[in-house]
Amino acid sequence: MNSRKTVLITGAGSGIGRALALEAAANGFNLILAGRTKSTLDETANMISTVKVVTIAADVTTPAGRADIVSATGDTLDILINNAGTLTVGQIEDISDDQISQMVTTNLVAPMMLTRDLLPALTRSKGRIVNIGSVFGDIAYPFFATYSATKFGLRGFSDAIRRELSGKNIGVTYIAPRATSTNAETKFAALIEPLDITMDAPDVVAKQAWAAILAGKRESFPKGKERFFVKVQRLFPSLVDKTVGAQARDPKAIAAVSPR
């Protein structure tokens, strides 16, 4: 892929989104960085000096925000990376209507709608759609129920549009990182030990993601035990029920998510 191609990344102001942008720049791509907060987008942009960077402060969950993103993108787009997401952790009975709606809208509905809106630009370039999911989109985890559901949905959406858009020569890559050390980590820090959660740095996730994107892969999972567990989940889900169910019953885990 040459240096003139353009990548649009949502949620590019911090965490995985910022790391994806830095790795894209290192690979010679021009960038359109979208997110809700202009100051953090500018921070990401200021880290990059080798390629053209455009920032667009827009809320991808709203029609107006998506329209602003489409307008900033123009007629042609080579790669769309749906990365923006949100997370609330806890026992399902303690998760509010607003928290559930926010996760479903941000993690699943918004990527579907933005992908739809940018299809003309992606069709012109015979481009690629990249959806940032999660290992929790295969292995449904306790206390992450709604989040897992949104990532299962995003994985299903990825598979469906890969097949639907094959006649237009648009590729689709689904990226499933494990837990990542970002600002969201504070929401589940107390669960890391009882649930035996392995953490990756954002730059590690970004490098693995871009390796899969550049190779045109259909999906990418982290190296290590999670990749093995994904295979077990697909073949023998009852075994995962026993293992993960035991973790969920751990008093430390229950205490970590109990309202204070």
Q: Which residues are catalytic?
A: 147
Cα separation, 206 vs 88, in Å, equals 23
* DSSP label of 51: S
Q: Considering Cα of 219, then 221, then 223, then 224, what sign does the dihedral take? A: negative
Cα separation, 121 vs 72, in Å, equals 11
Of 30, 27, 33, residue with least CA distance to 13: 33
Cα separation, 143 vs 190, in Å, equals 12
The set of long-range contacts for 201-207, using a CB threshold of 8 Å and a minimum separation of 24, is 202/15, 202/16, 202/18, 202/19, 203/19, 203/22, 203/23, 205/16, 205/19, 205/175, 205/177, 205/180, 206/16, 206/19, 206/20, 206/22, 206/23, 207/23
